[in-house]
Chain A
Amino acid sequence: MSENLHFKDHHSEQRLFRNRMLVAIFGVVALLSVLVARLYNLQVVNYEDYRTQSDQNRIQVRPVPPTRGLIYDRNGELLADNRPSYTLSIVRERVKDLDATLELLGQLVELDDSDVEKFKRRLPRRRPFEPVPLRYRLSEEEIARISVNEFHLLGVSVEAELVRYYPERELFAHSVGYVGRINERELSSFSEEDVSRYRGTQSIGKVGLERSYEDLLLGEVGYENVETNARGRVLRVLERQDPKPGAELTLHLDTRLQQVATEALGDSRGAVVAIDVKTGGVLAFVSQPSFDPNLFVTGISFKDYSALRDSLDVPLFNRVVQGQYPPGSTLKPMMGLGGLAAGVITAETKVADPGFFKLPNDSRIYRDWKRWGHGKHVDLIQGLAQSCDVYFWDMAHRWGIDGMYDIATRFGLGEKTGIDLPREYPGLFPSRDWKRGARGVPWFPGDSLNAVLGQGFVLATPLQLAVMTATIANRGTHYRPQVVMAVDGIEQPPEILHHVDARPEHWDLVFEGMEAVVYSTHGTGKRAGAGLDFKVAGKSGTAQVVGIAQGEKYDSEALKERHRDHALFVAFAPVDDPQIAVSVLVENGEGGGRVAAPVAREVFFDWMSRTYEDTAMGTGWRPPMSPSALNGHREAG
């Protein structure tokens, strides 16, 4: 239509313009509508999705690990503390080039291959935004070097973490135990619930109370929602659910008594257990030699570990609950009581001891430890005081194994004591059934003679002997031994496992016999009572060492020493109102009365010479529980 226009026609030009512009307006409106529709789609239709996306962008949930419960001795002295330690961690999500970062870090801090290797093994187990530890225990200087280079180290962080510390070091290694890093085996055995309970926590109790009270000590994990910017820096905490700290444990253990017992053992290998007769509370728990539990907390070095593992003295071995020794003559008071209660013997029973014993119809001669015997009229008191074997053989022969087994079980032999520590061994007290099952042969009368002297098949841990002694001291009340006195200030009630029924005069007789061990002219344990202003009752024992265990290194000098008998001593004091029962084992110490009794004496001396006040004053005592509860068990001095 415009073909034939050869000159400018303003009106048609204007019309043309308007025509085109109207189309353009249509386009503008259409495109603007597209934009509005797009905004509507983003902001109204998909609002929830984008809201979530933007929140996920900025909000991260971080676990806040709880503080592990502290452990105090009975006087409020700290045995397990938490101290800050600086850990180098990497958040994988934020690291662009992991290898380059590791290399750079290697120049700034000391990193050996095992650190890197462990880190790489941990890496796939953590979520990408969780920090994965690379090096523990950074020095001040290393922290400074990292912070100077922080700019190049995206995703690398130094975190302060509370780490277990055992201020008493070797002293409580076997009772309190230690924590260590959660290892792969533990991790794979975690239930779903455990995984969330341990989120943010890197340690777990490995041995001792740390292990048996793990659930209480751990506490409950908290969470915080933190807002981060695009580079992952935490800007503020939006919401926080505080973690619940783990329970505080107050132990029956007494640091000074523990020290005294340890020093009394000296360089010997052995064990000392002291039990509060009235509650079953464990006052001292010594297994020598010991080790520094702090080595294990953030991962022990291979060198340190092999030194501990390969030592001939086996310091990692908990002799108190795992050492199973023939208890020897320490069983005699219990056996005597059993004989009295069963009517096999009476106070008047006398036995002639020519220095040997013969079973009827048996040519074998059982020799007393004393070549010429203990005389023609040995009664129970003398039998205990001088540890007369023939007296007890005679009794055992008439009594039989069934009765002995019954009484031994009531005193806790042959089964776990139920102490609140892990990995306890049960020891062994043989019975007819046991022998038929385990050995496939019937019970012989000669076996009874061995059993009554705590030899042959009989095995007991030092803890079991202490419990046995405490049960005698209690006149039959058998408490479960307990290390923990109170949890978060709430006292754990003593628990009675058995009651051994015997007439009072029977107990008196046994007490008298045990007292005679310490005070009579020919008593075997005189050293246990030397210079004390209260009466001690005890019994010595000697355990034959059959042979050396397989796999130990040959060392002629050490071997000779290690063939010697173990020395044992069990005792309680004071006789008129028993407070404390002790069992002492000195490996290869030979004479129970000579070597082990003095150790018991030191324990008694320290414990009984103290009043409640100076226990409390001397050690910066803080009340972990009501003072009356503390006082209740120890009213006498």
Chain B
Amino acid sequence: MASRDYMNRLPDTGSSLRRPESFSRRWHIDLPLLLLLLALAGVGLVVLYSAAGEEFHYVKRQAVFMGLAFIGMLIAAQIPLEFYRRWSPWFYLAGCCLLVAVLFVGVGAKGAQRWLQVGGFRFQPSEALKLAVPIAVAAYLHKRTLPPSLLTVLGALVIIAVPAVLIVRQPDLGTSILIAASGIFALYLSGLSWKMIGSAIVMGLMAAWPMWMWGLRDYQRQRILTLFNPDADRLGAGWNIFQSKAAIGSGGWSGKGFMQGTQSQLDFLPESHTDFIIAVLAEEWGMRGALILLALYLLIIARGIYISFMAQHVFGRLLAGSITLTFFVYVFVNIGMVTGLLPVVGVPLPLVSHGGTSVITLMAGFGILMAVSTERRRVLF
């Protein structure tokens, strides 16, 4: 164990590099990623300006959050990876404790308890777990021989399952799935054997029926049913999807023009500034605009994958890969939901939807990506 420990230790960040340091490397900034993120945030604010209609304070608030989030990202980028790895169990444990606390003393609305209130400050512990879980899984796998043995896989699954179950109980299925996905991506990237993946899929399919019967709540079941038959209840459960499809479809190739989307400007489109914001963009800017946004996302994901390839060791590699793929899942689930491909789950469109805490978590994740990216290269051995 001791010898392994030595081998697994991250490179000593104290050592100096022979090459002269650039500004970005010195401050742990991945320039391409930063520029892409700035571009995305800019697009997000423009679309939000239109979606929020006359309520300009949404845009101002979001801009403030984005500023804070970029600062958070830069701070996260300065922290050495070794620190994340060392402290990961404590992050993870603290997060789980908060989740337990939410179940008992949490506050919330519409039958869901997702928030903790301390004085005048409110926060959502599940946001923290979005980072804590992939860090914990990556750190856990970092110390194991790879590909992971069955025992290791089971250990990782326990790490993933505890917070996932706690969050489902709030209930918040969407976040729970995303958090589980982030852990599972780390596990998958570590070299999970296809045999195991295959059997997991089979087991998942077998579990689908009991899940449907007992695992889901009525409104969740309703959302899934709506997906398959959106025209059944246009004014009820199908309303959101009916209207968002009409918004996107009526935008056509070139769109109705900025601030000219009738679906979004005349309040036909629900949640137009939060979860359904892509419909506003697609209506007003058309498919051209939607493709540009998708291209931005694709570039960010490509950069993330590149960073993960270039990472110096297992922890960084798994963490960067997991964060990047989870980011993609956000994008896919949100757009899939708004275009009527997936059931309606509360997943915002990253960096475009209005909402403060998710932006900060996301950007902190990108900060970690930058930390991985700018880690001083050293030859181990």
Q: CB within 8 Å of B: which residues of A? A: 2, 5-8, 10, 13-14, 16-21, 24-25, 28, 31-32, 34-36, 38-40, 42-44, 46-47, 49-51, 53-55, 57-58, 227-231, 235
Q: CB within 8 Å of A: which residues of B? A: 4, 7-8, 145-147, 185, 188-192, 243, 245-253, 262-263, 266-268, 282, 286-287, 290-291, 294, 298, 301, 305, 308-309, 313-314, 317-318, 321, 325, 328, 332, 335-336, 339, 341, 380
- A interface: dominant SS: helix
Query: Which of A14, A24, A229 meets B268, CB within 8 Å?
Result: A229
A14 / chain B contacts, CB cutoff of 8 Å: 317
Query: Which of A20, A31, A32, A58 meets B189, CB within 8 Å?
Result: A20
Report the separation of the CA atoms of residues A191 and B10 in the bound assembly, to the nearest whole angstrom.
Answer: 89
- Cross-chain contact B250 with A50 (CB below 8 angstroms): yes
In the complex, besides A17-B191, A17-B314, A57-B262, 6 extra interface pairs with C-beta distance below 8 angstroms are: A20-B188, A28-B328, A43-B282, A58-B268, A230-B266, A231-B267
A40 / chain B contacts, CB cutoff of 8 Å: 287
B301 / chain A contacts, CB cutoff of 8 Å: 28
Would you list the 5 A-B pairs with minimal beta carbon distance, nearest first? A50-B249, A16-B191, A54-B250, A229-B266, A43-B287
Say how far B271's CB is from chain A's closest CB, in angstroms: 13
Query: Which of B185, B247, B294, B314 meets A54, CB within 8 Å?
Result: B247
Report the separation of the CA atoms of residues A24 and B318 in the bound assembly, to the nearest whole angstrom.
Answer: 13
A7 / chain B contacts, CB cutoff of 8 Å: 4, 7, 145
Say how far A246's CB is from chain B's closest CB, in angstroms: 36
Q: Which residue of B lies closest to A49 (CB)?
A: B249
- B interface: dominant SS: helix
Say how far A130's CB is from chain B's closest CB, in angstroms: 19
8 A-B contacts (beta carbon < 8 Å): A7-B145, A19-B191, A21-B305, A32-B294, A38-B336, A57-B263, A58-B263, A230-B268
Say how far A194's CB is from chain B's closest CB, in angstroms: 34
- Cross-chain contact A42 with B248 (CB below 8 angstroms): yes
B332 / chain A contacts, CB cutoff of 8 Å: 31-32, 35
- Cross-chain contact B308 with A58 (CB below 8 angstroms): no
A2 / chain B contacts, CB cutoff of 8 Å: 146-147, 191
Q: A2-B191, A38-B341 are in contact. Are A17 and B317 (CB under 8 A)?
A: yes
Tell me which of A21, A43, A46, A53 has the highest count of chain B C-beta atoms within 10 A of its own C-beta. A43
Q: Which residue of A lies closest to B283 (CB)?
A: A54
Say how far A429's CB is from chain B's closest CB, in angstroms: 69
- Cross-chain contact A58 with B248 (CB below 8 angstroms): no
Report the separation of the CA atoms of residues A7 and B144 in the bound assembly, to the nearest whole angstrom.
Answer: 9
Say how far B152's CB is from chain A's closest CB, in angstroms: 12
- Cross-chain contact B321 with A51 (CB below 8 angstroms): no
- Cross-chain contact B267 with A53 (CB below 8 angstroms): no
Report the separation of the CA atoms of residues A235 and B267 in the bound assembly, to the nearest whole angstrom.
Answer: 12
Query: Which of A24, A43, A51 meets B325, CB within 8 Å?
Result: A24
Report the separation of the CA atoms of residues A174 and B245 in the bound assembly, to the nearest whole angstrom.
Answer: 61
- Cross-chain contact A43 with B267 (CB below 8 angstroms): no
Q: Which residue of A lies closest to B251 (CB)?
A: A43
Q: A17-B190, A34-B341, A50-B249 are in contact. Are A6 and B294 (CB under 8 A)?
A: no
- Cross-chain contact B262 with A54 (CB below 8 angstroms): yes
B318 / chain A contacts, CB cutoff of 8 Å: 17
B8 / chain A contacts, CB cutoff of 8 Å: 8
